[in-house]
Structure 1
Amino acid sequence: MIHILLRGAQVITMAPHRPDTEHADILIDDDTIAAVGENLDPTGADIIDVTGRIIMPGLVNAHLHTWQTALRGVGTDWTLMDYLGRMHGAAARHYRPEDMHIGTLAGALSQLDRGTTTVGDWCHNTPTPEHTDAAFDGLRASGVRGVFLHGTPYSAADATHPVGEIDRLSGGPLLTIGMAVRGPQLSTPDTAVADFRAAAERGLVVSMHQSGGEPGPGWAAVRDAGLLSPRTNIVHGAGLTDDWFKTLVDAGATLTSTPENELGQGHGFPVTGHLLRLGAAPSLGTDTDAITPADVLSAARIALAHQRGHDHEHHRQTTGSFSHTATITAKQALAWATVEGARALGLADRVGRLEPGMQADLIVLDAPAPNPIATALHATAADIEAVMIAGRWRKRDHTLLDVDLGTIRAQLHESAAHLLPHFPG
């Protein structure tokens, strides 16, 4: 049985009833946080001195296609149309199960190294059960906490999700299953309703992309069927109207922004402001390593700066001057990468905050500073000294544990060498 006392750090709990930061001990029993407070009883515990460090909840990357990791950076200058044509229209068809496995494994480990303890892995290159199993096994082998969002290659708008593939998958202590559907924007109304109903019957998170214009007729069909709920997750959200944002927020649905990808590829502007005006907030993702860096804190900083820029410009147009106070705080941006990500993936009762009864998913930053919140938001992988998931260390002393990086790199290079010739010139 694990019994650990972390002592001496500045702690960011992200719990609503606690200070922004505090000096506190964290007591961990097995996979769970037992207590957070000053001078906790260390009897029987393995005491770890983390003086001068910052401890905060593990980050949550709510939208990522890990299967594309071997092609890191290949599409940095692509537009959205380039990505759809070159990745999905060409290269994706040449993926072997082993490519799915190593991409997913390496992508998840890259997230761990950056302080991400939970991943929403949107896996939509599953032409065969073997491809699905290889990706799922890669995610499980990484040791990350994850929601494996089973998707499908792009196909006809009236093709319903293959629920048999969902039903045969079995999660575990760290992995849960969700559905990555084409959604109302890319499906016929009847198909969208059927997919939402299948997810609801199974109690699963159902996630979908929304961009490329105003909402299609499938959205109204899903709404009228009463299928919008807190387990509905919309990625991007570009093109939604104010009325639709209100409808979704009122239903408890979540929206995930991938701001660097959205701004660079042409999805549309991040939906941060729309949500904040309704008293809601986005979760964050990095989308794909093939296009943008796999760093959810970078996504948080970009989303924060982008929305502050909009707010300053609005203030300038109405008053003649930029805003004299910050319209959004750094702590709010941290919440998007922790609390809101957990909510988007249906895990708000387990991760995203450091509180008794929550899972012991946390990160240790070796970056002391007068403002721990800002230091955490500005952290890079080099600042992440340690990562714990369910009470087990996955990274210590700036090094991933129990990982054969040499073998993984070699397999990743082999996968890239196989896939790159299949891109159109």
Structure 2
Amino acid sequence: MKTLLSGGTVVSMDPAVGDHDRADVLIENGVIAEVAVHIHAPDAELIDARDRIVMPGFVDNHRHTWQTAFRGIGADWTFAQWATAMHGTVKAHYTPEDVYAATLLGRLEALHCGITTMLDWYHVAQDHAHEDAAIAALREAPARSVFCLGAGWATSRPVDDDIRRVRAELDGPGPVTMAFGLRGADDTGMDTLAREVRLADELGLRTSLHTGSDGTRRPVADLREHGLLRDTTTFVHGNGVSDEELRMLADAGSSLSVSPDVELKMGFGAPMTGRALAAGLRPTLSIDVVPSVGGDMFAAMRAAFAAQRGLDGSLRARDLVGFTTIDAAASCGLDARTGSITPGKEADIVLLRSDDVTIFPVTDPVGSLVSAGHPGLVDTVLVAGRVVKRDGALVGVDLPALRARLLASRDRIAAAAGVPLDGTWTPQM
């Protein structure tokens, strides 16, 4: 099976391929076969890419999709209020059906916004049925996903059996793979963290770990002292971590995921994007939680860009596109499969409307999509060569039915938890 993307403005994010004002991209059996100014492929399905920016699909390496039903409710919340609300109040009332509906709509939302790969950081831990519901939802979405199984919020319960069970379920190169969401030493102690890192090593799993510092703690140095830094770990947030510790992460080959909107709004501190880059890391960007922020990568890029430029004038627009494509793919261990428009990689590709009045005329494609891009530009999305969004609409998705399921889920959880849905809920810690 062949598909030809014809006549688009190609932003490849591969220096060997380069960018092209007008070029064709040939896809064969789901894999990028060729990028050239003109490709003759009369037997290929033709997708007219004129007036389109053709770029790699975005990669979001940290999102908690189980919270999708409560979108926007925490716009004014601090981090402590969010934790009280989502983990301390509503989480206990989630059924497997609630997890399924939230995860599926959250994953489809990301796909609709051009995010072809997403790491779902699962910490609504209840039992196996809840985990299986999340996995089933990710499998139903026609996208590339990483199920990052965590133990929950500040819980000390053993997770070895859960991790091994899900690892056996997701052992393979399919569209849904697995990662291990580690608990921090502050939550459960260094011995527990060390045991989990060893388990991840044994099972060949990449890991993700939320971290940060108030300026007195040295979480990264503590991990290095215990021999627990890995090139397979993505550290999430990292606000307040010292420059010395950022260099430790760079030396170890670790990754850093910055969630700029959440960090600025919830009081984490300035995003670490510029400091990480200066320390030798290639930072990545992620969404985190949609109760508090939007779910698209365009907004995350703008937030990170504006915050860092306001601090020191550093970063260029192309840096931001790299953070959300090839660098984020590398943080998930998927850069050999996705993250750039490179022959031999799977065709995870997004076509953005360059004739839309909100972005036209496009003089610098990279600068335009970073400074003015938004989900309304996402016209076509391909995952492994399969068209999953066409002419601005997801293909084969019954959104009205899914919306009804999610609304019923939200209303039931809120009623069980005794919380209002009229915008007046201010969680009390």
TM superposition score normalised by structure 1 = 0.92
TM-superposed CA distance for 1:168, in Å, is: 3.8
TM-superposed CA distance for 1:334, in Å, is: 0.9
Find the counterpart in structure 1 of residue 290 from structure 2.
289
Q: Is the 8 A contact 1:184 1:216 kept in 2?
A: no
TM-superposed CA distance for 1:47, in Å, is: 2.4
Distance 1:227 1:38 in 2: 48
Amino acid at match of 2:264: L
Find the counterpart in structure 1 of residue 136 from structure 2.
137
Find the counterpart in structure 2 of residue 298 from structure 1.
299
Find the counterpart in structure 1 of residue 275 from structure 2.
274
TM-superposed CA distance for 1:270, in Å, is: 0.6
Find the counterpart in structure 2 of residue 415 from structure 1.
409
Q: Is the 8 A contact 1:189 1:219 kept in 2?
A: no
Secondary structure in 2 aligned to 1:14? coil
Q: Is the 8 A contact 2:149 2:163 kept in 1?
A: no
| Residue 371 of structure 1, aligned match among 360, 364, 367 | 364
Find the counterpart in structure 2 of residue 385 from structure 1.
379
Secondary structure in 2 aligned to 1:276? helix
Amino acid at match of 1:374: G
Secondary structure in 1 aligned to 2:277? helix
Amino acid at match of 2:120: D
Distance 1:300 1:62 in 2: 14
Q: Is the 8 A contact 1:185 1:215 kept in 2?
A: no
Q: Give matches, 1:115-134, under 5 Å.
A: 115-134=114-133
Distance 2:296 2:217 in 1: 32
TM-superposed CA distance for 1:296, in Å, is: 1.2
Gaps of 5+ in 2: 356-361, 420-424
Find the counterpart in structure 2 of residue 359 from structure 1.
346
Q: Is the 8 A contact 2:239 2:270 kept in 1?
A: yes
Secondary structure in 2 aligned to 1:68? helix
Distance 2:334 2:8 in 1: 26
Change (3 A) 1:250 1:46: same
Secondary structure in 2 aligned to 1:354? coil
Amino acid at match of 2:122: C
Secondary structure in 2 aligned to 1:290? coil
Distance 1:21 1:204 in 2: 37
Secondary structure in 1 aligned to 2:179? strand
TM-superposed CA distance for 1:200, in Å, is: 1.6
Find the counterpart in structure 2 of residue 170 from structure 1.
170
| Residue 340 of structure 1, aligned match among 327, 344, 362 | 327
Change (3 A) 1:216 1:188: farther
CA deviation digits over 1:155-209, x for unaligned, max 9?
Answer: 4458555433433432552111001111334331111111111112222111011
TM superposition score normalised by structure 2 = 0.91
Secondary structure in 1 aligned to 2:304? helix
Amino acid at match of 1:371: D
Secondary structure in 1 aligned to 2:116? strand
Secondary structure in 2 aligned to 1:178? strand
Change (3 A) 1:173 1:166: closer
Q: Is the 8 A contact 2:142 2:388 kept in 1?
A: yes
TM-superposed CA distance for 1:243, in Å, is: 1.5
| Residue 399 of structure 2, aligned match among 405, 414, 417 | 405
Q: Give matches, 1:48-59, under 5 Å.
A: 48-59=47-58
Find the counterpart in structure 1 of residue 254 from structure 2.
253
TM-superposed CA distance for 1:278, in Å, is: 2.0
Q: Is the 8 A contact 2:348 2:385 kept in 1?
A: yes
Moved more, 179-188 or 278-287: 179-188
Amino acid at match of 2:369: A
Q: Is the 8 A contact 1:113 1:395 kept in 2?
A: yes
Find the counterpart in structure 1 of residue 197 from structure 2.
196
Q: Is the 8 A contact 1:330 1:374 kept in 2?
A: yes
Distance 2:321 2:418 in 1: 37
Distance 1:156 1:19 in 2: 47
Secondary structure in 1 aligned to 2:188? coil
Amino acid at match of 1:328: L
Find the counterpart in structure 2 of residue 33 from structure 1.
32
Moved more, 18-27 or 412-421: 18-27
Distance 1:159 1:274 in 2: 35
Find the counterpart in structure 1 of residue 359 from structure 2.
none
| Residue 349 of structure 1, aligned match among 333, 336, 345 | 336
Q: Give matches, 1:299-314, under 5 Å.
A: 299-312=300-313
Find the counterpart in structure 1 of residue 88 from structure 2.
89
Secondary structure in 2 aligned to 1:90? helix
RMSD, matched Cα: 1.8
Distance 1:116 1:283 in 2: 14
TM-superposed CA distance for 1:68, in Å, is: 0.6
Moved more, 146-155 or 51-60: 146-155
Q: Is the 8 A contact 2:211 2:219 kept in 1?
A: no
Distance 1:411 1:174 in 2: 25
Secondary structure in 1 aligned to 2:151? coil
Secondary structure in 1 aligned to 2:187? coil
2:396 is the alignment partner of 1:395 = no
Q: Is the 8 A contact 1:158 1:187 kept in 2?
A: no
Change (3 A) 1:212 1:277: closer
Change (3 A) 1:129 1:168: farther
Q: How high is the sequence identity, in percent, across the aligned residues?
A: 35
Find the counterpart in structure 1 of residue 235 from structure 2.
234
Gaps of 5+ in 1: 313-326
Distance 2:185 2:47 in 1: 50
TM-superposed CA distance for 1:279, in Å, is: 3.0
Change (3 A) 1:63 1:40: same
Distance 1:205 1:213 in 2: 27
